Amino acid sequence: MSTSPMQMSEARRFQQLRGHLSYLKLNDAAEALNRVLDQARTERMSLTAALERLLEIEVEATEGRRLAARERFACLPEPWTLNDFDFAAQPGVDEKLIRDLATLRFLDDASNVLFVGPPGVGKTMLSVALGRAAVDAGHRVYFTTAAELAARCHKAALEGRWKTCMRFFAGPKLLIIDLCRDCNYAERRVGFLGGGRCQGRLVRHSDARQGPSLPRVRVPA
């Protein structure tokens, strides 16, 4: 069975189109091209609808890769979200305030937040949940402990890399510092560093009377 010149032209055009997509690094769109064209013929889609579907596939794949990269960088210790927090079991927690924090407006305001309360009441869970919300919203987030932060800064200072270290910790839009000491320390506090005007400011001490002025969220036992 011979192939008509028109069929050869269409096949060549298809390969050229795939090549153009690959050259532009739209690899997921290139892989989906044949499937989308078949769908367009079957469903009699318009040209604009087919193009929209093709680019939608590429955008979804790109967003998925970026989300995975943000998740890896964030180093969140658990996949907690606010849905995992039992507000009924902690009636002293201001749920309305937590939900307001989950809008992430404090990032736009370059504000810091400090969770205060005894061990085991959910401060780390809430901080991680807000970090997860920020990651999902497209922000760069980094989770660390005060001990790790101090150790890395100390090592950087000894090795003459202080500025590089500060640039790293000032880079994320949201820096979560779990200010946890040894097991004989009776209180854990979590500080958030918002980006923008306040980038580079760190919560310097577990005592909220020292360091930057931080709004407190009390988490009673």
Q: In the predicted model, what is the mean pLDDT of the chain?
A: 81
170: phi then psi, degrees, rounded to nearest 5: -85, -10
Same domain, yes or no: 171 and 205: yes
Question: At 34, is the pLDDT very low, low, confident or very high (cuts 50, 70, 90)?
Answer: very high
CATH number at residue 203: 3.40.50.300
Of 73, 91, 126, which residue is a domain's last?
Answer: 73
Question: At 7, is the pLDDT very low, low, confident or very high (cuts 50, 70, 90)?
Answer: low
Return the pLDDT at 185. Answer: 34
Question: At 190, is the pLDDT very low, low, confident or very high (cuts 50, 70, 90)?
Answer: very low
Q: How many domains does the chain have?
A: 2
Same domain, yes or no: 63 and 93: no
Same domain, yes or no: 67 and 88: no
More confident residue, 161 or 4: 161
Same domain, yes or no: 102 and 207: yes
Whose CA is closest to 72, among 142, 157, 176?
A: 142
Neighbours of 22 (CB within 10 A): 14
Same domain, yes or no: 21 and 91: no
Average pLDDT over residues 59-65: 97
Structure tokens at 212: 């930057």
Same domain, yes or no: 97 and 67: no
Of 73, 97, 122, which residue is a domain's last?
Answer: 73
86: phi then psi, degrees, rounded to nearest 5: -90, 95
Residue 191: pLDDT over 60: no
Cα–Cα distance measured from residue 31 to residue 24, given in angstroms and rounded to the nearest whole number: 13
Same domain, yes or no: 20 and 123: no
Average pLDDT over residues 174-178: 92
Model pLDDT for residues 106-144, shown as the tens digit of each residue? 998 888 888 888 888 888 999 999 999 999 999 999 999
Domain of 62, in residue numbers = 5-73
Same domain, yes or no: 93 and 198: yes
Orientation of helix 47-74 relative to helix 123-136, angle to 10°: 150
Same domain, yes or no: 66 and 87: no
Whose CA is closest to 18, among 2, 1, 35?
A: 35
Same domain, yes or no: 95 and 58: no
Q: How far apart are the first and last CA of the chain?
A: 80
Of 22, 40, 73, which residue is a domain's last?
Answer: 73
In the chain, the percentage of residues whose pLDDT exceeds 90 is 62
Question: At 72, is the pLDDT very low, low, confident or very high (cuts 50, 70, 90)?
Answer: very high
Q: Specify whether the CB–CB gap between 77 and 143 falls below 8 A.
A: yes
More confident residue, 90 or 59: 59
Same domain, yes or no: 165 and 182: yes
Return the pLDDT at 180. Answer: 57
Same domain, yes or no: 53 and 127: no
